[in-house]
Structure 1
Amino acid sequence: MSEFTPDAIDCRILDALQADGRMTNQELSEQVGLSPSPCLRRVRLLEGAGVISRYVALINPEAVGLSVTAFVRVRLDQQDDRHLAMFESAVVGFPEVMECYLMTGEADYQLRVLVKSLGAFEDFLRHRLTRVKGVYNVTTSFALRPVAYKTALPTMDIS
């Protein structure tokens, strides 16, 4: 990714697109106070610089039956580059794993896992996650309900 510092107009564009990625360039240009051509040029620059990496649809997990959110902390028996790479390679292939972070502290990794039921989580845990070579310890906490869930990044600090 190249060095790119968004200005205030770029931040307004980013805020608007994070709220509605399907808006037309005309709607976007009106919302941010630019004419359509310069607005589109700025969006293309943001895309080219890697600031905007892709466009997606956000799906409500409950609406598609994914009602159980688990936060899973994983410790490996060894933390060398080879074992970390093996674990990461396995985990990115699990569709239930929505996020995976390499951590400091007591756990090597923190995962956010979405599944249909506790039974589905047990199956994921027993038959997939704990069978990854090098997994030493797994600790799980289940979310009761989301309190804050954001997909839009704050732009006020980047310009």
Structure 2
Amino acid sequence: MNNEQALDRIDRDILFHLQRDGRLTNVELAQRVGLTPPPCLRRVKRLEESGVIAGYRARVNPEAIGRGLEVTVSIEVSVSDLKTLEGLEAAIAGYEEVVEFRRLFGTPDYHLRVLVADYAAYEAFEFRKLIGIPGIARVISQPTMKTIKDMG
């Protein structure tokens, strides 16, 4: 299933409900989308097998695990050689504080979402881990004031 045209209204409704609560039973999901359980289960399996549903996971409250400060980080690089960029990406992707990591078109070159306990922990992360990576020219950090919507 490669394009949106292959998804009908019921498929989109199934996705809507599963995105909000991936623990719904098939019976509950079927009731919400107006199907009986067997065809609902077939549709969910088809969505999983085709890659539309990529997986299921638990959403963890960052404050409950001591990571209540979220910082959005923009990184600009000073190099363009592939080996240095691959090393930079491998290093950053390996840090447990980094929960989202994207390469962008244009400037900045990368976007990160970082979760840490507090400002001191973020300062240590930036100065002990990010700043020393070869190829990084500039790091711009923006602590989150308030999360309005998070579908992650």
Distance (Å, rounded) in 2 between the aligned partners of 1:143 and 1:51:
30
Distance (Å, rounded) in 1 between the aligned partners of 2:150 and 2:83:
34
Tell me the equivalent position of 1:148. 149
- 1:62 maps to a residue whose letter is E
Distance (Å, rounded) in 1 between the aligned partners of 2:39 and 2:148:
38
TM (norm. structure 2) is 0.90
Tell me the equivalent position of 2:29. 28
Distance (Å, rounded) in 1 between the aligned partners of 2:35 and 2:107:
50
2:2 counterpart of 1:3: yes
Tell me the equivalent position of 2:106. 105
Deviation at 1:10, TM superposition (A): 0.4
Structure scoring higher RCO (CA < 8 A, sep ≥ 6) equals: 1
Identity %: 39
Tell me the equivalent position of 2:56. 55
Partner SS state of residue 114, structure 2: strand
- Alpha-carbon deviations, 1:112-159, whole Å to 9, x = none? 1110011111111111112222222211111122223234xxxxxxxx
- Alpha-carbon deviations, 1:93-124, whole Å to 9, x = none? 11111111212333211111110011111111
Tell me the equivalent position of 2:66. 65
Deviation at 1:79, TM superposition (A): 2.4
Gaps of 5+ in 2: none
CA RMSD of aligned residues (A): 1.5
Report the count of equivalent residues.
Answer: 150
Deviation at 1:15, TM superposition (A): 0.7
Gaps of 5+ in 1: 152-159
The answer to which of 40-49 and 140-149 deviates more is 140-149
Tell me the equivalent position of 2:44. 43
Partner SS state of residue 54, structure 1: coil
